[in-house]
Structure 1
Amino acid sequence: MFSLILLLMMSLLIMVIMKKGKFLGNAKKNSKHSSPKLPPGPSPWPIVGSLLELYRNLPPFQWIDGIMKKLETDIACFRLGSVHVIVVNSPELARDFLHNHNAVFASRPITMATQHSSRGYLSMAVSPLGPQWKKMRKMYTTHLITPSRLRWLLEKRNQEADNYVSFIFNQCNKSSSSDGSVINVRTALRHYVSNVIKRIIFSKRYFGEGGKDGGPGKEEEEHVEIVFKLLKYMFAFGVSDYLPWLRVLDIQGHEKSVKKAMRILNKHHDPIIEERIRLWRDGKKKEREDLLDVMITLKDETEKSLLSEEEIKAQCIEVFFGMDSPTTSVEWALAEMINKPELLQKAVDEIDKVVGKERLIQEYDVPQLNYVKACVKEAFRLHPVTFFNLPHVSTADAIVGGYFIPEGSHILLGRYGLGRNPKVWGNPLEFKPERHFDCDKSSKVELIDPELRMISFGSGKRACAGIALGTPLSVMALGRIVQAFTWSVPKTLEKIDLSEVPNGLELAKPLHAYAKPRLPSTMYPIMLNGF
Structure 2
Amino acid sequence: MDQISLALLSVFFLLVSIVWYSWIFKNWTKKLPPGPRGVPILGYLPFLSHNLHIQLTDLARKYGPIYKLWLGTKLCVVISSPSLIKEVVRDHDAVFANHDPTVAGLVATGGVDIVNSPYGPHWRNLRKVFVREMLSNKNLDDSGPLRRYEVRRAVRNLYGKIGTNVDVGELIFITEVNVVLCLIWGGALEGENRDKIGARFREKVAKFVELLGKPNLSDFFPILAKFDFQGIEKEMKGVLPSVDEILNSVISDRMKIMEDSGGEFSSANRRKDFVQILLDLMKQNDIVIGGTDTTATIVEWVMAELLQSPHAMQKAQQELTQVVGLNNIVEESHITKLHYLDAVIRETFRLHPPLPLLIPKMPSKSCTIGGYTVPEGSRVLLNVWTNYKDPQVWENPTEFKPERFLNDDDNGKWDYIGNNFHYLPFGSGRRVCPGIPLAERMVTYLVATLLHSFDWKVPEGVKLDMEEKFGIVMKKSTPLLAVPYQRLPSLDMYE
Identity between Structure 1 and Structure 2 (%): 29
- 1:115 and 2:113 are equivalent in the alignment: no
Contact 2:319/2:340 (8 A) holds in 1 = yes
Map 1:111-190 → 2, pairs under 5 A: 111-118=102-109, 120-172=110-162, 180-190=163-173
- 1:226 and 2:204 are equivalent in the alignment: yes
Query: 2:482 aligns to what SS in structure 1?
Result: strand
Deviation at 1:133, TM superposition (A): 0.6
C-alpha distance in 2 between matches for 1:293 and 1:275: 9
CA shift in 2, pair 1:337/1:98, >3 Å = same
- 1:382 and 2:382 are equivalent in the alignment: no
Deviation at 1:345, TM superposition (A): 0.9
C-alpha distance in 2 between matches for 1:280 and 1:345: 49
Provide TM-score, normalisation by structure 1: 0.82
- 1:100 and 2:68 are equivalent in the alignment: no
- 1:260 is aligned to 238
- 1:202 and 2:185 are equivalent in the alignment: yes
C-alpha distance in 2 between matches for 1:449 and 1:386: 14
Contact 2:364/2:376 (8 A) holds in 1 = yes
Structure 1 residues 245-291: Cα deviation after superposition (integer angstroms, max 9, x where no partner): 21111112211111111111112221231343355357555215443
CA shift in 2, pair 1:359/1:84, >3 Å = same
C-alpha distance in 1 between matches for 2:319 and 2:390: 29
Q: What RMSD, in angstroms, separates the aligned Cα atoms of the two structures?
A: 3.3
C-alpha distance in 2 between matches for 1:438 and 1:253: 51
181-190 or 447-456: which moved more?
447-456
Contact 2:351/2:400 (8 A) holds in 1 = yes
Query: 2:192 aligns to what SS in structure 1?
Result: coil
Structure 1 residues 207-250: Cα deviation after superposition (integer angstroms, max 9, x where no partner): 98349xxxx43x32221121132123323442212322211111
229-238 or 162-171: which moved more?
229-238
C-alpha distance in 1 between matches for 2:474 and 2:168: 17
Deviation at 1:335, TM superposition (A): 1.2
Map 1:53-452 → 2, pairs under 5 A: 53-59=44-50, 61=52, 64-65=55-56, 68-69=59-60, 71-118=62-109, 120-172=110-162, 180-204=163-187, 209-210=192-193, 216-217=195-196, 219-281=197-259, 286-287=264-265, 289-295=271-277, 307=280, 311-313=281-283, 315=284, 317-438=286-407, 440=409, 446-448=415-417, 450-452=419-421
Contact 1:54/1:60 (8 A) holds in 2 = no
Query: 2:292 aligns to what SS in structure 1?
Result: helix
- 1:496 is aligned to 464
Query: 1:384 aligns to what SS in structure 2?
Result: coil
Counterpart residue identity of residue 194, structure 1: V
C-alpha distance in 2 between matches for 1:103 and 1:276: 37
Structure 1 residues 51-80: Cα deviation after superposition (integer angstroms, max 9, x where no partner): xx3245342716852661462422221233
145-154 or 362-371: which moved more?
362-371
CA shift in 2, pair 1:513/1:148, >3 Å = same
C-alpha distance in 1 between matches for 2:385 and 2:16: 36
Structure 1 residues 346-366: Cα deviation after superposition (integer angstroms, max 9, x where no partner): 111222222222222221222
254-263 or 318-327: which moved more?
318-327
C-alpha distance in 1 between matches for 2:421 and 2:212: 22
Gap runs ≥5 in structure 2: none
Counterpart residue identity of residue 69, structure 2: F
The count of corresponding residues between Structure 1 and Structure 2 is 487
Counterpart residue identity of residue 121, structure 1: G
CA shift in 2, pair 1:476/1:327, >3 Å = same
Structure 1 residues 12-68: Cα deviation after superposition (integer angstroms, max 9, x where no partner): 289759x98x994899xx6xxx67x2222123656x452xx3245342716852661
Gap runs ≥5 in structure 1: 173-179, 298-306, 527-531
Contact 2:218/2:225 (8 A) holds in 1 = yes
Counterpart residue identity of residue 258, structure 2: W
C-alpha distance in 1 between matches for 2:199 and 2:11: 42
CA shift in 2, pair 1:25/1:518, >3 Å = farther
Contact 1:388/1:416 (8 A) holds in 2 = yes
Deviation at 1:497, TM superposition (A): 2.0
Deviation at 1:156, TM superposition (A): 0.4
C-alpha distance in 2 between matches for 1:208 and 1:245: 49
CA shift in 2, pair 1:38/1:281, >3 Å = farther
Provide TM-score, normalisation by structure 2: 0.88
